[in-house]
A and B are shown apart, each in its own frame.
Chain A
Amino acid sequence: MTSKAQTIETWGVMQPPRPWLIDFLARLRHHPLGMFGLIGVLLFFFLALTAQWVAPYDPTAGDYGVMQSPTLSHPFGTDWSGRDILSRVISATPSELKVGLTAVFVGVALATMLGLISGYLGGQVDSVLQRLVDAWLAFPPLILLLIISSALGPSAKSMTIALVIGVIPGTSRIIRSTVLAEKNKVYVEAAQVIGASQTRIMLRHILPQLVPTIIVMVSIAIPVIALLGAALSFLGMGTPQAVTWGGDLSGRASQFFTHAPWMAIFPGAAISLYVLSFNMLGDAMRDIFDPQLRGSAAMRG
């Protein structure tokens, strides 16, 4: 009841529109899951920025007793070579965020270019590019990424490149379909009539209309890419010496899981919490900004 009354009152006074961030946060209050997601995302950013000070121990120093169960001094226990698991989980955040977010932003940017060119130019260009994207999509994603990162050698950089390649095809398809819907609208015709160049129409007229779609694609891609990246580190494609959540769940460590289950539980829970936070925030964003895309699962897999 009160909310209805408030809406009417707001409309009556004709307040100027709120800045979008404030508007978003105000609406997020009614999304408990989205709020949870936001807090989680902020927590991971905080940990990523402060990892070296927040981590209680040296993540690579193995002198705290082998496979000790969680205690107050080692809340997540220690691993098979006596390293503190909490410190390892925290120390992995900067690189996980850096690799995942770089891959998503670069990938979505390239996909936007590809989708714009393919959709706007149409004709032969579009046919050729779309057959390429078809082939790209027909490749089982994880296997393509595995081949690429093993071609480039195990490192954070090659993993980022592999993940970028994972983002592009599906995203560019969706951007292209938005471009196809936009390019027949009157404003594009008007720009063509006054003699604007194709590049100008694409960049100055159509691109701004794609922003909502791009935001949605970023929000969908972040969790998906985080999972793929974790799978790649699990399969041994990260930098060999680097601390990663996926890497701590594989290799020699896995022989000891039955004796020290905490070794398996905490790094995996960190990945899940990270992905869950971005998923929940992304869902809430889509609910708030674009109710039509509610529950969209277009890019998963």
Chain B
Amino acid sequence: MAQYIVRRILYLFPVLFVVSLLTFVLMRVVPGDVAQLVLGNSATPEEVEAFEEENGLNDPLVDWKPPFGQYGEWVGGLLHGDLGNSYYQNSPVRDELAHRLPVTIQLMVMATIVLVVLAIPAGVIAGVRPNTPLDFVTRTTAVFGLSIPGFWLGTLLILLPSIWFGWTPPPGRVALLDDPVKNMQQFFLPALALGIPPAAAVMRLTRSSVLEVLRADYVRTAWSKGLRERTVVWRHVLKNSLIPVVTIIGLQVGALLGGTVIIEKIFTLPGIGLFTFDSIFRRDYLGVQAIVMLMSVVYVFVNLAIDVTYVWFDPRIRYS
């Protein structure tokens, strides 16, 4: 097991290397001159030149001798925990991320709670009672949930309360510990908008997984022993049917991370997603590169963690 984890972690290096190279190259081919964007149209060619010189934008992109060009310098910085400076705030990207991370983490955690609370009970109930009206209603709701774009759901979640009750989420952002009530008012709707679409996908998977496990021999044995339905479902069906569900939730983390870009923009939450959007449009290379690296690291580690927890869920699985 330990060997397996070590090997998986070693596998992550080429993956993250490719991600870093890809982001770097992609950001450099984006047309638009960052110097011109920062300094504005009134800047003279000399000022632009000076800005580029100061920020190392004139260095070769990749070079064979140290410090290996802009790419080498950036990766070298990454390994020391230095993400570079934002061209706009002229402050370290790391500080910007540290400042914004709590917002995005809270949003993601709450969206995941929404997802689990909606998807798993509904999926289990629909799976245990297939082809009943209840199943039909849950499944139809799920197809609707899969078909609604997150940004429209978010727009409606702001719009409808403001029309019906004249209520909008309080502006600004309050930390959870400073004022829990106000904080929840700010985060509840975005978490719903972010969590509902993936919940529909997870619900459908839960249902089909439960249906499959219900057909297994050991479940028939459990029934024939005369166990109560509650015992069969809780003790025999649930544990095994949730294994694929956990994987798919892990894969949804990627979708949730991407979704924060849209949801934070709609609800103007000052998190990582909004920063991503702004950085892409302002050609703030180092900002985008840092975010993509951060998100990829989170994604690969979440999925590694899920593969490892399999063993805990299902002792039959052995990694070698």
Interface residues of A (CB under 8 A from B): 33, 131-132, 134-135, 137-143, 146-148, 150-151, 153, 223, 227, 230-231, 234-235, 246, 249-250, 254, 257-258, 261, 264-265, 268, 271-273, 275-276, 279-280, 283, 294-297, 300-301
B143 touches A150 (CB 8 A): no
Known pairs A143-B295, A297-B248; A231 contacts B149 (CB<8 A): yes
Measured in the bound complex, the distance between the Cα atoms of B147 and A300 in whole Å is: 11
Known pairs A135-B19, A150-B280; A301 contacts B255 (CB<8 A): yes
Measured in the bound complex, the distance between the Cα atoms of B26 and A234 in whole Å is: 22
Q: Which residues of B (141-167) have their CB < 8 Å from a CB of A?
A: 143-144, 146-152, 155-156, 159, 162-163
Measured in the bound complex, the distance between the Cα atoms of B79 and A88 in whole Å is: 51
Known pairs A257-B155, A272-B152, A297-B205; A141 contacts B295 (CB<8 A): no
Measured in the bound complex, the distance between the Cα atoms of B144 and A264 in whole Å is: 18
Q: Which residues of B are found within 8 Å of A294, using beta-carbon distances?
A: 208
Contact sample, A vs B, 12 pairs, CB 8 Å cutoff = A134-B11, A138-B19, A140-B299, A143-B258, A227-B150, A230-B149, A257-B159, A268-B156, A272-B144, A273-B147, A300-B255, A301-B251
B198 touches A301 (CB 8 A): yes
Measured in the bound complex, the distance between the Cα atoms of B156 and A234 in whole Å is: 14
Q: Is B122 engaged at the interface, CB distance under 8 Å to the other chain?
A: no
Instruction: Tell me which of B27-35, B37-45, B85-93, B94-102 binds A.
Output: B27-35
A142 touches B262 (CB 8 A): yes
Return A59 CB to nearest CB of chain B, in Å: 20
Return B61 CB to nearest CB of chain A, in Å: 15
Most buried by A among B150, B152, B202, B277: B152
Q: Which residues of B are found within 8 Å of A141, using beta-carbon distances?
A: 254-255, 258
Measured in the bound complex, the distance between the Cα atoms of B59 and A34 in whole Å is: 58
Q: Which residues of A are found within 8 Å of B149, using beta-carbon distances?
A: 227, 230-231, 234, 246, 268, 271-272, 275
Q: Which residues of B are found within 8 Å of A138, using beta-carbon distances?
A: 15-16, 19, 254, 296, 299-300
Q: Which residues of B (295-315) have their CB < 8 Å from a CB of A?
A: 295-296, 299-300
Known pairs A140-B299, A297-B205, A301-B198; A264 contacts B18 (CB<8 A): no
Q: Which residues of A are found within 8 Å of B204, using beta-carbon distances?
A: 295, 297
A246 touches B151 (CB 8 A): yes
Count: A-B pairs, CB below 8 Å: 160
- B228-272 near A? 1/0 per residue, CB < 8 Å: 000000000000000000001001101101110110010000000
Return A181 CB to nearest CB of chain B, in Å: 18
- B205-222 near A? 1/0 per residue, CB < 8 Å: 101100000000000000
B255 touches A147 (CB 8 A): no
B147 touches A223 (CB 8 A): yes
A151 touches B254 (CB 8 A): no
B295 touches A140 (CB 8 A): yes
Q: Which residues of B are found within 8 Å of A150, using beta-carbon distances?
A: 30, 280-281
Closest to B283 in A: A150
B155 touches A268 (CB 8 A): yes
Measured in the bound complex, the distance between the Cα atoms of B258 and A41 in whole Å is: 28
Known pairs A138-B296, A150-B281; A258 contacts B261 (CB<8 A): no
Q: Which residues of B (264-298) have their CB < 8 Å from a CB of A?
A: 265, 276-277, 280-281, 288, 291-292, 295-296
Return B154 CB to nearest CB of chain A, in Å: 10
- B115-148 near A? 1/0 per residue, CB < 8 Å: 0000000000000000000000000100110111
Q: Which residues of B are found within 8 Å of A271, using beta-carbon distances?
A: 149, 152
Measured in the bound complex, the distance between the Cα atoms of B15 and A279 in whole Å is: 33
Closest to A270 in B: B152
Interface residues of B (CB under 8 A from A): 11, 14-16, 18-19, 22-23, 26-27, 29-31, 140, 143-144, 146-152, 155-156, 159, 162-163, 198, 201-202, 204-205, 207-208, 248, 251-252, 254-255, 257-259, 261-262, 265, 276-277, 280-281, 288, 291-292, 295-296, 299-300
20 A-B pairs besides A275-B149, A276-B147 with CB distance below 8 A are A135-B16, A135-B18, A140-B296, A147-B23, A147-B27, A150-B30, A151-B29, A227-B150, A231-B149, A249-B152, A250-B151, A264-B155, A264-B159, A268-B155, A272-B152, A275-B146, A276-B143, A297-B202, A301-B198, A301-B255
Closest to B209 in A: A295
Q: Which residues of B are found within 8 Å of A246, using beta-carbon distances?
A: 149, 151
Measured in the bound complex, the distance between the Cα atoms of B255 and A150 in whole Å is: 20
Q: Which residues of B are found within 8 Å of A234, using beta-carbon distances?
A: 149, 151, 262
Measured in the bound complex, the distance between the Cα atoms of B259 and A141 in whole Å is: 9
Q: Which of A140, A151, A275, A300 contacts B198 (CB 8 A)?
A: A300
Q: Which of A131, A148, A249, A300 contacts B146 (CB 8 A)?
A: A300
Measured in the bound complex, the distance between the Cα atoms of B199 and A9 in whole Å is: 44
Closest to B158 in A: A257
Measured in the bound complex, the distance between the Cα atoms of B23 and A148 in whole Å is: 10
Known pairs A272-B148, A300-B198; A131 contacts B159 (CB<8 A): no
